Amino acid sequence: MEIETEKLKPYEFNVQYFEVLKGSDYEALKKDIQARGIKVDLHILPDNTVICGNQRLKIAKELNLKEVPCKIVEGLETDDKIKEYVIKDNYLRRHLTQEQKAFLAGELYKIKFKGSGGDRREQTGQSVPFDVYAEVGKDLNVNRRTAVRYIQYAKICEEEPTKQGKKITQVLREVKQAKQEEEIKQLEPEKAIQGVFDVIVIDPPWKGTGAYDPDGFRGKGDYPTMEIEDIKKIKLPMAKNCIIWLWTIDLHLKDALDILDVWDLERKSTLIWVKDKIGLGHWLRNQHEYCFLAVQGNPKIFSNSTSSVLNAPRRKHSEKPDEFYKLVEKVCRGRKLDYFARKKREGWEVYGDEVKK
């Protein structure tokens, strides 16, 4: 049907969230409408609010077109339903940047989250039958993981407007790094550790080949990391005669040796953990880790011809196998500390950010 142009009004949500066409794109559309008229119906509400087609409405007014073709959309009783309709239509029609898509995903998430009754997982601990992230992804034709990233970005930018305009990857990286730094600051060994130890296992949170990668690049881990100089400053609570097991990876072999020198320790041997599955890596996917056995003073070790190769299944990222701790318990005696521990362990005192989780 044809509606008088002067009776139509723009939908404010469109004005707020969608950039107007500019330059040659706008002029091309204007010339086409001037030559052929408007061929695609504007979508309007019963009150003549244009929810899809505001660019064409603007041009129609500039060209003094008296009437334009319109389609009345019924059944959108609430503002949320109108927004959802507009988001889906514009998401599919327009050439949007990833960041613009993210903002739309964020708005759609708010609508569906409200409609689902909120995040019931936080209240009951049970899984939610209605997966809001998956539903948003389905509506926008992206997988759930992409929908999650979009929504995270939109939430962050809403809370911190200064991040608007930055790329999604950059914003997620900055937030993750800030969280990691805060977790590291929470570690206060002088308050958490009492006395000295005869055996210390330490698995420093080595920095990988680059910053955290929210896109999931397999060469980078997802946990708090420390600078080499900060690791060197750690004061291990060592007994006069102490055995230290220092875990490291290929990238940090030299750093690990330097750290042993700074800690004034003497390296005695190297244990190599060979895993059953490959893990992270840039040039090659790593399937092994090194653990330097070093000493302070003159401790005793009960090696019983223990091999320098440990074959054990790979655990979750950076977690060391139970077989390693059994080996240490077999060859070492005395009070034991697991520094940067991933979990509590019988017969050991533990210290680390993940133990609290």
Looking at the fold, whether 221 and 335 belong to one and the same domain comes out as: yes
Which residues span the domain enclosing 6? 2-80
Looking at the fold, whether 59 and 144 belong to one and the same domain comes out as: no
Give a yes or no: residue 183 inside a domain.
no
Using one digit for the tens of pLDDT, what is the confidence trace for 318-350?
Answer: 789 999 999 999 999 999 999 988 788 899 998
pLDDT band at 117; cut points 50, 70, 90: low
Looking at the fold, whether 212 and 321 belong to one and the same domain comes out as: yes
Say if strands 266-274 and 288-296 run parallel, antiparallel, or are unpaired: antiparallel
Q: What is the phi/psi pair of residue 199, to 5°?
A: -135, 130
Mean pLDDT value across residues 64-84: 91
Looking at the fold, whether 348 and 199 belong to one and the same domain comes out as: yes
Q: DSSP character for 223?
A: S
Give a yes or no: residue 24 inside a domain.
yes
Looking at the fold, whether 101 and 60 belong to one and the same domain comes out as: no
Q: Give the chain's mean pLDDT.
A: 84
Q: Are the C-beta atoms of residues 300 and 333 closer than 8 Å to each other?
A: yes
In this prediction the pTM is 0.53
Using one digit for the tens of pLDDT, what is the confidence trace for 157-214?
Answer: 988 888 888 999 888 888 877 776 666 666 555 456 789 999 999 999 887 644 434 3
pLDDT of residue 206: 84
| C-alpha dist (Å) from residue 332 to 220, 256, 291, 323 | 33, 22, 15, 14
Alpha helices, H only, 263-321: none
pLDDT of residue 220: 46
Looking at the fold, whether 74 and 158 belong to one and the same domain comes out as: no
Last residue of a domain, one of 134, 166, 198: 166
